[in-house]
């Protein structure tokens, strides 16, 4: 009963390096989201997708790109990592009900 799976769970990058976070869901959900969580700031929406082949910007999209080539996968890319992108990243998926199902998070440190 996997639900939402994020890989990797931990990553350390140097400033300027690139990486991709992978999110996979097995619930056939149309909607998928990437949030970042920082202390005292709650969760902020980076990008989201309302279906296969679609993506849209959230509150804090700068420095990130996303792709949704398959319905079950939602990729978050950092082209040139910066220390300000040190955070915990959460992927979520949902039906059109507002109930989001979250992965366990990916902790990224940018040195």
Partner 1 sequence: AQSVTQLDSQVPVFEEAPVELRCNYSSSVSVYLFWYVQYPNQGLQLLLKYLSGSTLVESINGFEAEFNKSQTSFHLRKPSVHISDTAEYFCAVMRGGNKLVFGAGTILRVKS
**Signed CA dihedral, 24, 26, 27, 30: sign only:** positive
Output 34 or 81, the one with its CB closest to partner 1.
Answer: 34
- The correct pick among 58, 61, 63, 77 for binding partner 1 (CB under 8 A) is 58
* Residues within window 76-95 making contact with partner 1, judged by CB under 8 A: 90, 92, 94
Decide if 36 contacts 92 (C-beta within 8 A).
no
Taking CB under 8 A as the rule, does residue 22 contact partner 1?
no
- The correct pick among 33, 34, 64, 74 for binding partner 1 (CB under 8 A) is 33
């Amino acid at each position: 009963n996997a639900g939402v799976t994020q890989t990797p769970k931990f990553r350390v990058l140097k400033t300027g390096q690139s990486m991709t976070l992978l999110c996979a869901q097995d619930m056939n959900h149309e909607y998928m989201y990437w949030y970042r969580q920082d202390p005292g700031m709650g969760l902020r929406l980076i990008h989201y997708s309302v279906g296969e082949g679609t993506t849209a910007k959230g509150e804090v999209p700068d420095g990130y790109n996303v792709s949704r080539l398959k319905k079950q996968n939602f990729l978050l890319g950092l082209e040139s990592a910066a220390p300000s992108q040190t955070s915990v990243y959460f992927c979520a998926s949902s039906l059109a009900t507002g109930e989001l199902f979250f992965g366990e998070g990916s902790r990224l440190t940018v040195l």
